[in-house]
Chains A and B, each alone.
Chain A
Amino acid sequence: MRHGKYPFIIGFLVVPVALYVTFVVWAYIQAFYLSVYEWSGLGPVENFVGLGNFRKMWDDTTFWQSIKHNIFLLVFLPIITVVLALIFAFLLNVGGGHKGGVTRGVWGSKVYRIIFFFPQLLALAIVAVIFGRVFGPDKSGMINGLFPDSWQPWLFLADERYAMGCILVVLVWQAVGFYVVLFSAGMGNIPTEVYEAAAIDGASRMTLFFRITIPLLWNTVQVAWVYLGIAAFDAFALVNIMTVDRGGPDGATSVLSLMIYRNAFEFSQAGYASALGVVLFFLTLTFAWVTLSATRRESVEA
């Protein structure tokens, strides 16, 4: 049935390709193009500035502040989330000990998993609104409400020392459950004989965790690390909705994504925003490449 193959192929591809090229490919090409122009967003694009936007970035204190905050998230979000998720997943799957020759999770592990995972289903924007109130700087905030009446209310997001920490806490809160489920799926694929053999050799739970679970789960951990790193480069919804003065106080929570948005749509600096986008792109790629090559090791097959 060679007959009619090409009309069929073209018929099936034309709409998806057209949509994709118009809204995605063309937009990315334009982003590279606009990054070497100074353009407010109105009128013709004609003021070519070469690397001028990037030079401007070099001298822009907000840019360096934002990079610093992104790096803060990039370091702490993956490590805290992965460690917590690995521990919880291990407890849920293997922590129940060994009865009747079967390795199993603690009692009620299904219920825990259902609860842990739920925040993943909520939009980051909704989570941001909830935690904006959880961290409320007076008695109406959940945490300040829990504190004894004699305490001065903590400012949380309104205090530049802690604001970024609050953002990190929220990102971890939302992410852990997803990775518990992801790691649990991975742990489920590790044959129980492996654990049993180790247990017969007298391995403690600690040894099981570090010598068996982690090496056999390494690929999944790697993927998790990259995903969380990419999430650390975003955080837009949180910063835009939750923080004081959007990115404040005094730039204490400014991140690259927020800078791009504000330059493009509030400061009439579409060219500069595109240049920032190009930087974000290379940072993301570098991060993914560094993570994958730094964590490469002999893959272990169960």
Chain B
Amino acid sequence: MTTIAKTPSTTARSAGRPPEPKRDLKIATGLSHVALVAWALITAGPLLWVLLASFKSNTEIFLGKPFALPNEFSFSTYANAWSDAHIGRYFINSVFVVVISTAGTMLLGAMAAYVLARYKFPGNRAIYYLFVSGLAFPTFMALAPLFYILKGIGLLGSFTGLILVYIAYSLPFTIFFLAAFFKSLPYEIEEAATVDGASHVRKFFQIMMPMARSGLVSITIFNIVGQWNQYLLPVVIMSGPGADQKLLLTQGIAQISVSAGYQAEWSTLFAALVLTILPMIIVYAIFQRQIQAGLTAGAVK
């Protein structure tokens, strides 16, 4: 830590102070790299270890030497994780839920945000603040009541219930973000369309939505990642009889981890983790710029 903190002090900027020895700058840059490489290793190390361990037999895992290459690359752990541990099913469940709930969140969120941002009517502000105030409440507070509300309407342990809850809890941020975005768009094109006799609905879908594309993309990514990574809500909602067929990936992995712990049989767990993480790495490799922008968009505003 101290070396990192001192790095900047060892050198002054070269510009404007030509006498500054170049060597010092090189040392500082070198130390910067040491610090950055160290953190990169700390970040990637555990993931690389999981990958290596996923090919090892359980005996080999218990030998230590975590970063040694496996004796032989065995894919049987992957077969176990896919079939016996049901990773495939959990994966499909997660994809299904997130696709529908993100689509729903974006459609309903954009509709509400658009109306609240660009139409004057009594109660507009009240509804807007009702949505935005949702950002101040911790989800934990609502857990018990939410469970009984779902139970009451018979949606507990169902994908429908989970999807509706995902949408409802994603609306505050989506509306907060998109309302600001819609407000910032110019009014002239919309007015021209009105003169041409376009209906309100048509203006929304054919003019405003395309104009808001960049904002929509950011918040869509934000919602996909947020909902994909949900753990608390599925644990609460996907419970009860028959729910074990409907577990989502995060829940499923946690459950595999518990049963692996009872048997001290880790190799399947590592394969399951790789199957979970690998698709994320692929998607991230393709869309890393958009993903970084989408996830940080909320904090920058």
Q: Smallest CB-CB separation from B197: which chain A residue?
A: A1
Partner of A16, one of B109, B119, B143: B109
1/0 contact trace for B251-293 toward A, CB 8 Å?
A: 1011001000000101001100100110011001000100110
Alpha-carbon distance between A91 and B11 when the two chains are bound, in angstroms: 13
* A4 B65 Cβ-Cβ under 8 A: no
Interface residue ranges of B124-151 to A (CB < 8 Å): 127, 130-131, 134, 136-138, 140-149
Partner of B15, one of A185, A196, A257: A196
Report A-chain residues with C-beta under 8 Å of the C-beta of B165: 23
Tell which of A48-56, A60-68, A159-167, A175-183 binds the partner.
A175-183
Alpha-carbon distance between A206 and B11 when the two chains are bound, in angstroms: 8
Partner of B112, one of A13, A22, A195, A241: A13
Query: Is the CB of A9 closer than 8 A to any CB of chain B?
Result: yes
Query: Is the CB of B164 closer than 8 A to any CB of chain A?
Result: yes
Query: Is the CB of A209 closer than 8 A to any CB of chain B?
Result: yes
Distance in Å: Cβ of B104 to nearest Cβ of chain A: 9
Q: Smallest CB-CB separation from A281: which chain B residue?
A: B141
Distance in Å: Cβ of B227 to nearest Cβ of chain A: 10
Distance in Å: Cβ of A189 to nearest Cβ of chain B: 10
Query: Is the CB of B180 closer than 8 A to any CB of chain A?
Result: no
Query: Is the CB of B171 closer than 8 A to any CB of chain A?
Result: yes
* A123 B231 Cβ-Cβ under 8 A: yes
Alpha-carbon distance between A132 and B288 when the two chains are bound, in angstroms: 27
Report B-chain residues with C-beta under 8 Å of the C-beta of A114: 284, 288
Report B-chain residues with C-beta under 8 Å of the C-beta of A15: 108, 111
If A16-B112, A280-B138 touch, whether A116 touches B40 (CB-CB below 8 Å) is yes
Report A-chain residues with C-beta under 8 Å of the C-beta of B299: 182, 220, 223-224, 227
Distance in Å: Cβ of A49 to nearest Cβ of chain B: 16
If A114-B288, A115-B44, A121-B225 touch, whether A16 touches B200 (CB-CB below 8 Å) is no
User: Interface size on B (CB < 8 Å)?
Assistant: 110
Report B-chain residues with C-beta under 8 Å of the C-beta of A220: 299-300
Report B-chain residues with C-beta under 8 Å of the C-beta of A88: 35-36, 39
Query: Is the CB of B216 closer than 8 A to any CB of chain A?
Result: no
If A115-B40, A116-B43 touch, whether A125 touches B8 (CB-CB below 8 Å) is no
* A182 B296 Cβ-Cβ under 8 A: yes
Describe B's contact surface by its main secondary structure: helix
Partner of A274, one of B33, B145, B288: B145
Report B-chain residues with C-beta under 8 Å of the C-beta of A200: 15-16
* B111 A16 Cβ-Cβ under 8 A: yes
Q: Smallest CB-CB separation from A26: which chain B residue?
A: B149
Distance in Å: Cβ of A202 to nearest Cβ of chain B: 6
Distance in Å: Cβ of B62 to nearest Cβ of chain A: 5
Distance in Å: Cβ of B67 to nearest Cβ of chain A: 8
Report A-chain residues with C-beta under 8 Å of the C-beta of B67: 146
* A132 B64 Cβ-Cβ under 8 A: no
1/0 contact trace for B36-55 toward A, CB 8 Å?
A: 10011011111101100100
Distance in Å: Cβ of B5 to nearest Cβ of chain A: 7
* A13 B115 Cβ-Cβ under 8 A: yes
* B15 A241 Cβ-Cβ under 8 A: no
Given A129-B269, A132-B257, A142-B45, 13 extra CB contacts under 8 A: A8-B115, A19-B168, A24-B171, A27-B149, A28-B141, A97-B25, A106-B29, A106-B32, A114-B284, A122-B280, A123-B230, A125-B231, A126-B253
A and B contact pairs by CB, cutoff 8 A, 30 listed: A5-B119, A8-B199, A9-B121, A13-B116, A16-B108, A16-B175, A17-B112, A19-B108, A27-B149, A30-B148, A34-B144, A91-B35, A97-B25, A116-B43, A118-B284, A123-B231, A125-B231, A125-B254, A130-B50, A132-B257, A134-B49, A173-B43, A199-B12, A200-B15, A202-B17, A208-B8, A227-B299, A261-B236, A264-B143, A288-B136
Residues of A within 8 A of B (CB): 1, 4-6, 8-9, 12-13, 15-17, 19-20, 22-28, 30-31, 34, 41, 84, 87-88, 90-92, 95-99, 101, 106-107, 112-126, 128-134, 138-140, 142, 144-146, 149, 173, 176-178, 181-182, 185-186, 195-196, 199-206, 208-209, 220, 223-224, 227, 230, 233-234, 236-237, 240-241, 256-257, 260-261, 264-265, 270, 273-274, 277-278, 280-281, 284-285, 288
Which A-B residue pairs are the 9 nearest by beta carbons? A205-B8, A277-B141, A123-B229, A30-B145, A200-B16, A27-B142, A199-B13, A145-B66, A23-B168
